[in-house]
Amino acid sequence: MTRILAIETSCDETAAAVVEGRKTLGAFVSTQMKEHALYGGVVPEIASRRHIENLPYVVSEAMKRAGVAPEDLDAVAVTQGPGLVGALLCGIGYAKALAYGWGKPLVPVNHIFGHICANYLAEPSLKPPYLCLVVSGGHSHLCYMEDETHLHVLGATRDDAAGEAFDKAARVIGLPYPGGPLLDELAEKGTPQTLGLRVPKVEGLDYSFSGLKTALIQAVERKKKAGEEIQPADIAASFRYVVVEQLLSKAFQCVSETGTDTLVLAGGVSANRLLRRETERRGREAGIRVFYPPLALCTDNAEMIGCAACILYEHGIRAGLDLNAQPSLRLKGHTAFDSLVP
């Protein structure tokens, strides 16, 4: 069984994990969230500086928890992109040094493919083909996973990602960073029909979220002008409802168009309570199997990178010591192909 040390530093979590196939042997995450919260969002330079400081400890803690020594590993893996360039370079530099020093191959991992693979850790029996709704801070994709390394992007956002939309709406309500999870919590106490927001109409299987923020601001203004009191929980619930409705109506349309029997959620937004509940409910109604990662594996972590790396390693993927960060790396794999394996 392939055993890999994986490093993830694409944004504001410094994470390392030792993964064996679809099983985590040991993991450690150091989050910088509180520091970035002071500035209302991730400050790239601070993220890089913390990664550089934290990496030695985070990696040795993951190795210690796994109870493995360098000679027990097959490879060292690292997130190549997408993400913040400075942050990615910290992890890549550190992973290269370890791979070189330990005489191990280096495996580059697409962060978004990592998010998808988080599901294998929770459900080792999960096998393609399946449809995956990838919803994170920077991405919203509907993709058909044909086999372990071939995927087809069938729909994508035309503007903002779902997580970005949640974060922007949270700012409108006055919630601190990170807004998405706080908006979700607040929405649990609200009524989604209060603002009468409409789900945007977008052709085909694509998404659009950028107009929703303007619609939200306008709806709140209208209510205020009419002298109606409006609760933040109702604003949060109204916004969450239209985002989730758009995500799932397209996802289930795609399920029926592709004839798939399995729908998988991935990415930070798959932690959203309404999204999880509604996916379950609609899945039951449609007779579709539904999977989503446990909460700890929805947001950024290195376990998912390690799991993805085991698959890629077994398909012969290796990087040279000239590996560079690719901040805009696309979901289509390490190159512009649909295959994750060139």
Q: Is 316 left (phi over 0), alpha (psi -120 to 50) or beta?
A: left
Four-residue CA torsion sign, 69, 29, 81, 113: positive
Contact 151, 45 (CB under 8 A): no
Nearest of 253, 203, 194 to residue 224 by alpha carbon: 194
**Amino acid residing at 201:** K
CA dist 256 and 233 (Å) reads 34
Among residues 93, 155, 192, 268, which is the contact residue for ligand KG4, using CB under 6 A?
268
- Residue 299 binds ligand KG4 (CB under 6 A): yes
Among residues 32, 54, 119, 136, which is the contact residue for Zn ion, using CB under 5 A?
136
Burial label for 253, CB within 10 Å (0-12, 13-18, 19+), is middle
- Residue 163 binds ligand KG4 (CB under 6 A): yes
Nearer to Zn ion, 5 or 11 (CB): 11
- Residue 137 binds ligand KG4 (CB under 6 A): yes
Nearer to ligand KG4, 129 or 232 (CB): 232
Nearer to Zn ion, 79 or 260 (CB): 79
- In angstroms, what is the minimal distance from the CB of 69 to ligand KG4? 31
Cβ neighbours for 66, distance < 8 A, ≥ 6 positions apart: 17, 18, 25, 26, 27
- Residue 262 binds Zn ion (CB under 5 A): no
Q: Is 262 left (phi over 0), alpha (psi -120 to 50) or beta?
A: beta
Structure tokens at 216: 């939200």
- Residue 138 binds ligand KG4 (CB under 6 A): yes
- In angstroms, what is the minimal distance from the CB of 267 to Zn ion? 6
- Residue 106 binds ligand KG4 (CB under 6 A): no
- Residue 190 binds ligand KG4 (CB under 6 A): no
Nearer to Zn ion, 197 or 297 (CB): 297
- Residue 8 binds ligand KG4 (CB under 6 A): no
- Residue 12 binds ligand KG4 (CB under 6 A): no
CA dist 336 and 324 (Å) reads 16
288-317 binders of Zn ion (CB under 5 A): 300
Residues making contact with Zn ion (CB under 5 A):
136, 300
Residues making contact with ligand KG4 (CB under 6 A):
11, 115, 136-138, 163-164, 166-167, 178-181, 184, 267-269, 271-272, 299-300
